[in-house]
Amino acid sequence: MHKANGEPEERPKLFRNADVLRLTIFGWYFATTLVGGIVGGIALDRWLGSEPGFLIGGLVLGPLVGFYGMFKMLMPLYRRQQDQNRHGGSPR
């Protein structure tokens, strides 16, 4: 409820700025691995004349690398949340 003359109630901060930055970087990282796999596959196919072998490999390898990177980037956030829940702390 709003208190007209009192201090506004402080809402809990769900994400820290560093966490938001990490998630933004993850998005760019995943997009780069996906596009890099496709472009790299096309370039290798043109250079070696082996169409569409490397393109298919790039389509498989790009997302795999992206998901592995996602796992490595998101695990510290998950662990920190588990530690806070275990010790009764609130996220800052």
Please determine, for residue 4, whether its predicted confidence score (pLDDT) is greater than 80: no
| DSSP helix/strand/coil, 91 | coil
Are residues 91 and 12 in contact, defined by beta-carbon separation less than 8 angstroms?
A: yes
CA dist 87 and 54 (Å) reads 49
Give the tens place of pLDDT for each residue, 7-64.
Answer: 555 555 666 777 778 778 888 999 999 999 999 999 999 999 988 999 999 999 999 9
Find all residues with CB under 8 Å of 73, minimum gap 6, and list them.
22, 25, 26, 29
**Closest Cα partner for 70 from 31, 15, 13?**
31
* 5 — pLDDT class (breaks 50, 70, 90): low
CA dist 25 and 70 (Å) reads 10
Q: Say whether pTM exceeds 0.75.
A: no
